[in-house]
Amino acid sequence: MTTTIRPARPGDEAELVAMIRELAAFEKASEHCHVTESQLTTALFGGEPVAWAHVAEVDGLPAGCALWYRTFSTWEGVAGVYLEDLFVRPEYRRHGVARGLLATLARECTAAGYTRLEWAVLDWNVDAIALYDAVGGKQQSEWITYRVSGPELSALAGS
């Protein structure tokens, strides 16, 4: 089994959308996933990309992906990476693919002088939590995540 991890390139959008939808199904949230190939093309490869992705291939077949974007720490004065999605197809799990994607992003951070690699995980995803603990991830239990979206976002924008 040969694993290759590479930056996403134009032409990967269909496979990335498929994996994003597989992740949404795994997270029991398919009804909230509306991403299109066109949106990914613009986000990843447009004139001003807002996100980046890496694709993991096993023996030439798409096995997983990591989609991420840059953040900024005002306290440290440097950028970081927020891992929005990490997904490995079930048949490739427990073969080091997810760890390889995380290590690739860690190399992206250190090469660019970034000081953080951050992500969130659902509290019931014990396999992912075990991996994140094993690679030295630290839970940030003192922070509570908030989100405003949908009608509430529109109402706030109009206030």
DSSP characters for 84-131?
EEEEE-GGGTTTTHHHHHHHHHHHHHHHHT---EEE---TT-HHHHHH
- pLDDT on residue 1: 85
Which active-site residues does the annotation give?
A: 132
> What is the token pair recorded at 80?
């970081």
Could you report how far apart the first and last alpha carbons of the chain are, in Å? 56
Return the pLDDT at 4: 98
Q: Domain ranges in the chain?
A: 3-157
What is the tens place of the pLDDT at every residue in 19-40?
A: 999 999 999 999 999 999 999 9
Q: In what order do the strands lie in the sheet with 117-119?
A: 3-7, 52-58, 61-73, 78-88, 117-119
Cβ contact 17:40 at 8 Å = yes
The single residue listed with the structure tokens 């991890």 is: 5
66 with 85: CB under 8 angstroms? Answer: yes
- In this prediction, the residues of the chain whose per-residue pLDDT falls under 70 are none
Domain 3-157 in CATH 3.40.630.30: yes
pTM of the model: 0.93
Residues 113 and 150: beta-carbon distance below 8 Å: no
